[in-house]
Amino acid sequence: MQTSQIQQPLNPYSASRSGLKPNRYEKTSNQIRKLEMKDKNSHLEIKVHIDGLWGGNYKIEATGKYLTITALRYVFNVDSENKKSKGKFRWITSSLFLPYQVEEGTVDSRLEDGYLLIHIPRKLSLE
C-alpha cells in the first residue's frame, strides 16, 4: 500500500518569476487543502478536502491517466470598511495525474465527513 499526502496547495505566484501576476482563474484553481492517495490491491482510493465545498455540487471526470475535479465552493471575504463578511460562490477545477490508466464511467465518488472520497477500480489485465 502506497500513501502520499499533500498539505499545502501549489502557490500560483511561484511560477511567475518574470513578475507577471497570475490571472483570476489561477488564483482559485488550486483550492485542494489536503489530498491523500492510497493504492490498494483492487482500487485506488483518493481522499480530498476542498475548503467550502458546497453540498453535492462537484463533478469527477477520469480520462486516461488524468482525473479532473470540478467543484462549487463558497468563499468568504471580509470587507474591512464595513466589518461585514460577505461570501460568493466560485467554481474551481483541479487535475491529478493517476498512476495507471482508467476507463471512463468507472469512477465512484461520495461526500463523507467533509471529505470527497473517490474510488477508482484497478483495471484488470488478462494475459
pLDDT-above-90 percentage for the chain: 4
| C-alpha cell of residue 48 | 480530498
* 98-109: pLDDT as tens digits: 888 888 788 899
H or E element that contains 24: helix 24-28
**Residue 10's pLDDT band (boundaries 50, 70, 90)?**
very low
* Nearest-angstrom CA–CA distance, 37 and 24: 28
CATH tag, 2-121: 2.60.40.790
Pairing of strands 53-79, 43-50: unpaired
* Nearest-angstrom CA–CA distance, 72 and 42: 30
**Listed residue (65, 55, 75, 52) closest to 95, CA to CA:** 65
* 31-67: pLDDT as tens digits: 676 788 888 888 889 898 887 777 778 889 888 888 8
Range with lowest mean pLDDT among 21-35, 36-50, 59-73, 74-88 = 21-35
**Residue 4's pLDDT band (boundaries 50, 70, 90)?**
very low
